Amino acid sequence: MSKDVLMRSAKLSSLWFLMIVFVLVVFAVFSYNDPTANSSAGANQGLLDAEEQVEVRSVFEANE
């Protein structure tokens, strides 16, 4: 019986671990795709020409 309980708790803990990893990955992907985030692309946008800014904007719009 104790082996049964151990197997059940191992399955539960691995399920929780996978759920936490999944949530972290989803959060990382969303924060990476956020154009308002303080990323290097957003910080360098002011130094670009107007045409390049339009290209950057179109790339972000295509990702959404």
Of the pLDDT bands very low, low, confident and very high (cuts 50, 70, 90), residue 3 is confident
Q: What is the mean pLDDT of residues 10-21?
A: 90
What kind and span of H or E run contains 44? none
Average pLDDT over the chain reads: 71
Of the pLDDT bands very low, low, confident and very high (cuts 50, 70, 90), residue 21 is very high
How far is it, in rounded angstroms, from Cα 62 to Cα 55? 11
pTM value surpassing 0.85: no
Closest CA to 59 of 45, 38, 29: 45
How far is it, in rounded angstroms, from Cα 24 to Cα 39? 19
Of the pLDDT bands very low, low, confident and very high (cuts 50, 70, 90), residue 1 is low
Of the pLDDT bands very low, low, confident and very high (cuts 50, 70, 90), residue 41 is low
How far is it, in rounded angstroms, from Cα 34 to Cα 44? 15
